[in-house]
């Protein structure tokens, strides 16, 4: 009888030790209480397989790993949480803690951000990154703090191409057509100079609008053009590289001020790393998509000739003159330099 009791005690001790040890290991493997966990809702409007969509998921995974589960970034792609035009209100009210809108979405509140919508502003990705990562980007981010918005990074989507129901080989081909644009007076002026009309639409409504003929065309980087299946409803695509589309990764400043300093450091370092990765991924995807579109042979692809590009530049020069006062000559000078 005594030996049975001793055996039972030993078994109980083993069980207690095992449970305690498991509990400690489980906690080390990111079991954090609800009170300790920081939730970051990251809302965006594009597909998960775009450069921004993939980068958002990568950022979420790395932050969770590096904070041992103290921070959980919940990513809501494809307008599943908030649509275009709703995200800023949600951010300001702290209903989401992170968004990554196209720079054009900031222009209503901050006219200086219209600089990124100017046609033929950058020659290549390096030009764009020099502006975004340098004094121009710092000045533009500083303006956001007036509205309790904090800029964390600038991500690439890529250079824009233009698609339509008709071939777009010459400036005259734009006349009378209607193009979907983001809310931007610069983009409205750009198409107006080409003799076209514009219609502002949320991104999640563009496919339907193209399908039913509500608009005739749109401008997009190739990754957006492909992932949103615009090639199914746009028979003509012109590789023009006439504009650049980038994203501003933003957070609510009041929320950010309440984040512990050690967590801020991890988030900032991770964001910097993911930004470099996202930019490389955006360039890679746009090259890959062009190759895929050529193989599919659904959309007829036209490459804008150098002499035609020079003509586009000349026709679009008045856009710069129209918006220099709003954007600021000093900003334009800094980009040029």
Query: Residue 8: is its pLDDT beyond 80?
Result: no
pLDDT at 34: 62
Q: Average pLDDT for residues 234-250, to the nearest whole number? A: 97
Residue 260: strand pairing partners = none
Q: What range defines the domain where residue 200 resides?
A: 34-336
Distance CA 180, CA 215 (A): 6
Spatial separation of the C-alpha atoms in residues 222 and 301, rounded to whole Å: 12
Q: Mean pLDDT, to the nearest integer, of 294-321?
A: 96
The answer to whether residue 139 sits within a structural domain is yes
CATH code of 242's domain? 3.40.190.170
Domain membership flag for residue 108: yes
Any domain includes 154: yes
12 falls within a domain:
no
- The pLDDT assigned to 300 comes to 97
Residue 2 has pLDDT above 80, yes or no: no
- Residue 301 in 3-state DSSP? strand
Whole-number mean pLDDT of the chain?
Answer: 90
Our count of domains for the chain comes to: 1
Rounded distance between C-alpha atoms, residue 160 and residue 224, angstroms: 10
Q: What is the pTM of this model?
A: 0.85
Dist. CA 320–CA 186, nearest whole Å: 9
The model's pLDDT over 62-87, given as tens digits with 9 standing for 90+, comes to 999 999 999 999 999 998 998 877 89
* pLDDT (tens digit per residue) in 270-288: 999 999 999 999 999 999 9
- Structure confidence at residue 262 as a pLDDT band (50, 70, 90): very high
Which one-letter DSSP state was computed for residue 118?
Answer: S
pLDDT in tens, 42-66: 999 898 999 999 999 999 999 999 9
Contact 155, 129 (CB under 8 A): no
What is the per-residue pLDDT for 85? 77
- Asked if residue 164 is part of any domain, the answer here is yes
In a domain, 29, yes or no: no
Q: How far apart are CA 68 and CA 54, in angstroms?
A: 21
Residue 21 located in a structural domain: no
- Continuous segment of H or E residues that includes residue 250: strand 236-252
DSSP label at residue 266: H
Q: How far apart are CA 285 and CA 283, in angstroms?
A: 6
Give me the pLDDT at residue 31, please.
57
């Amino acid at each position: 009888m005594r030996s049975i009791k001793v055996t039972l005690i030993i078994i109980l001790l083993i069980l207690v030790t095992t449970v305690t040890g498991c509990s400690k290991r489980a906690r080390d493997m990111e079991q954090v209480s609800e009170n300790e966990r920081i939730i970051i809702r990251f809302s965006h409007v594009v597909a998960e397989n775009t450069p921004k969509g993939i980068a958002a998921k990568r950022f979420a995974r790395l932050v969770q790993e590096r904070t041992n589960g103290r921070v959980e970034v919940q990513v809501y792609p494809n307008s599943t949480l908030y649509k275009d035009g709703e995200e800023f209100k949600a951010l300001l009210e702290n209903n989401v803690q992170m968004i990554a809108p196209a720079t054009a979405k900031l222009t209503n509140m901050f006219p200086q951000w219209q600089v990124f919508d100017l046609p033929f502003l950058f020659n290549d990705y390096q030009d764009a990154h020099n502006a975004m990562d340098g004094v121009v980007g710092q000045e533009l981010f500083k303006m956001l703090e007036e509205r309790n918005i904090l800029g964390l990074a600038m991500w690439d989507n890529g250079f824009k191409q233009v698609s339509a129901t008709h071939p777009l080989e010459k400036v005259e081909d734009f006349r009378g057509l209607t193009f979907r644009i983001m809310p931007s007076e610069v983009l409205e002026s750009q198409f107006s100079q080409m003799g076209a009309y514009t219609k502002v639409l949320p991104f999640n409504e563009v496919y339907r609008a193209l399908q039913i003929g509500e608009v005739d065309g749109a401008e997009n980087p190739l990754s957006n053009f492909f992932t949103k299946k615009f090639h199914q409803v746009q028979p003509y695509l012109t590789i023009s590289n006439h504009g650049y589309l980038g994203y501003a990764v933003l957070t609510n400043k009041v929320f950010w001020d309440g984040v512990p300093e050690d967590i801020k450091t991890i988030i900032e370092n991770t964001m910097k790393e993911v930004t470099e990765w996202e930019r490389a991924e955006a360039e890679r995807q746009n090259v890959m998509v062009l190759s895929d579109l050529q193989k599919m042979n659904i959309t007829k692809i036209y490459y804008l000739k150098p002499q035609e590009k020079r003509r586009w530049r000349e026709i679009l020069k008045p856009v710069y003159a129209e918006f220099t006062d709003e954007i600021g000559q000093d900003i334009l000078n800094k980009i040029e330099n």
